[in-house]
Chains A and B, each alone.
Chain A
Amino acid sequence: MISTLDKLHAILRRDLLTAIRHRSGFVVTLVGVFTELAAFYFLSRAIGPSFRPGGLEYFPFLLVGTGIYTFFVMSAQAFLSAVQEAQQTGTLEVLMTTSTAPAELLVLSSISAFAGNLVNLLVYLFTGVAVFRASIHANLLSCVAVLIFSLAIALALGIAAATLQVAFQKGSAVLWLLGSGLWFLSGTMFPIQSLPRPLELLARAVPLTYAIDGMRRALLEGQSVLAMARTLAVLAGFGVVLLLLALTGLSLSLRRARLNGTLSFY
């Protein structure tokens, strides 16, 4: 346990030092957040106050939808980028020869990637509330519960993207396709009830739909954990199943890469 925490500390420190030394990156992120939120703010004003999806004002609806969506996709992307970069620079093979098991290493690396994206999400939500006056009625306990279960799902997505990268060197293409599908189906920009019935049913099979819906109810409506029990149970179920599948896939793809000698291929 101490050894695992020590490794996590080392990975967090590496990523923090690298981020700090990329000074311009942080400023670019802040400008990007501000520009995106300004666009959504004026879009919601142009549409007018009469459009209230699920009884919510449109700007806060967008704020939570795009914030959670971006958190999901960027977490998976950050994780994928870490694997791609490690393949291109040659660190992946060296990392795989350390005393740390590959699966442990990938999970710890993903926690670090998520920590960075969690900071981005908080900055995004804070800017939306403080600068663009999005009205929120948060139930913090519910928010934390939704975030924890969503993290498990995002972790599985990140590991799955890394698995595809190790197995087929095509993680980016698959993630792009998946990201577009998730954006369309998960109710990021509009309620899924607007979709044709077959697509609405498909949207209900997407875990991100529940994460976004859950966060809207927790952050904007202040619903309690008890009131959201069903959504939280669905998120937990998705988290457990997807994590097991992703870890099994990762183990198989690493074994295949070690047999074929393709671990460092990209």
Chain B
Amino acid sequence: MDQVVFESVRKTFRHRPALFNWLGKERGGETIALKDVSFSAASAEVLVLLGPNGSGKTTALKLISTILLPDAGSVRVGGFDARRDAGAVRRQVGVAVAAERSFFPRLSARENLDFFAALDEVPRRQRAQRIDEVLHDTGLEEQADTLVMKFSSGMYQRLGIARALVKRPCVLLLDEPTRSLDAATTAHFWATIRGLAQQETTVLLATHNFAEAAAVADRLLLLHRGELLANRLVGEGESADALRSFYFRTTGEIDEARGAIQRARTAQ
């Protein structure tokens, strides 16, 4: 069964310049973030949204989490419409966004998780155990009782993931989840994602990291300037390099990084 369904979704952001715009140069007009995008994610599937900055990945995740409403088309999660049944959708979705400071600084990691778990209606008698589990999964056990104002950006990132997991969502949304993580924690996190999929959680992960996409994806959506350019399965063992080639071939962009590496090798 499809857990997440996007049907012809369009989202435009309008920019209205300030009243006295002649004092500055604020841009007017509009940005089309998503152009008639359609896709679906099955139960227990890890779907990676790959694309450069500004391609519409975060907008897609925000539409699923009901932070944003679509201008046209429909978004459904677990059969519920995100516009009409936003409450039912939010009960099924866990969100780990890249906002590092989205915690209460004078509460500890455990207190923050307890607060958000209460708002997510996790039963009180299950809360302590679940919090211990997610702290373990994200490697934050030793920092559990430290005020989060003392956390590094990597620890915030891990806590954001822990917060999304504590409600045991049917659909997990991750926006550049390993951006600030070290290599060991990243590898552990990728294994956790695969484990979640085996427990029937649908995962949608936005990234521009080819290694991450290759490590966790069952299927790949390639977004570019708000358009869905590709929607395809990722083969077992398909490498980051293969995905990289596919990306540049499909988007028509020039792989400047690869050119620079080759030039450096030639110079040596």
Q: Does B bind A?
A: yes
Q: Which residues of A contact B (CB under 8 A)?
A: 3, 6-7, 9-11, 13-14, 17-18, 21-22, 89-91, 93-101, 105, 255, 258-261, 263
* Chain B residues with CB under 8 A of A11: 115
Q: Is the interface of A mostly helix, strand, loop or mixed?
A: helix
Chain A residue nearest to B14 in the complex (CB): A260
Interface centre among B14, B67, B114 (most CB of A within 10 A): B67
Q: What is the chain B residue whose CB lies nearest that of A101?
A: B87
A258 with B102: CB separation less than 8 A:
no
The 7 closest A-B pairs by CB, nearest first: A90-B99, A10-B118, A90-B102, A98-B119, A21-B106, A97-B65, A100-B119
A76–B99 Cα gap in the complex (Å)? 27
A13 to B66, CA, bound (A): 27
Please state if A91 and B69 are interface contacts (CB–CB under 8 Å): no
A91 and B104 contacting across the interface, CB-CB below 8 Å: yes
With A22-B106, A261-B13: A94-B97 Cβ-Cβ less than 8 Å: yes
Range, interface on chain B: 35 or more
Q: Is B101 an interface residue (CB 8 A)?
A: yes
* Complex alpha-carbon distance, A17 and B108, angstroms: 10
CA gap between A99 and B169 in the complex, in Å: 11
Nearest opposing residue in chain A for B99, CB measure: A90
Considering the chains assembled together, what is the distance between the CA atoms of A17 and B106 in angstroms? 8
B115: chain A residues within 8 A (beta carbon): 10-11, 13-14
Q: In the complex, are the beta carbons of B120 and A98 less than 8 A apart?
A: yes
Q: Within 8 Å CB of A255, what residues of B?
A: 69
* Count of inter-chain pairs, beta carbons less than 8 A: 90
Contact B95 A97 (CB under 8 A): yes
The residue in chain B whose Cβ has the minimal distance to the Cβ of A9 is B118
Q: How far is the CA of A261 from the CA of B101 in the complex (A)?
A: 19
- Closest chain B CB from A245 CB (angstroms): 22
Q: Is the CB of A17 within 8 A of B111?
A: yes
Q: Report which of B97, B101, B111, B163 forms a contact with A14, defined as CB distance below 8 A.
A: B111
Across the interface, name the chain B residue whose C-beta is closest to A88.
B101
CB of B103 closer than 8 Å to a CB of A? yes
Chain B residues near A259: list those with CB within 8 A. 68-69, 71
Q: Does B190 contact A (CB under 8 A)?
A: no
Contacts of A98 in B (CB 8 A): 90, 116, 119-120
Which residues of B in the span 154-189 have a Cβ within 8 Å of any Cβ on A?
163, 167
- Tell me the B71-124 residues at the A interface (CB within 8 Å): 71, 87, 90-91, 93, 95, 97, 99-107, 111, 114-116, 118-121, 124
Q: Are B111 and A93 in contact (CB under 8 A)?
A: no
* A6 / chain B contacts, CB cutoff of 8 Å: 118, 124
CA A221 – CA B66 in complex, angstroms? 53
Residues of A close to B102: CB separation below 8 A: 89-91, 93-94
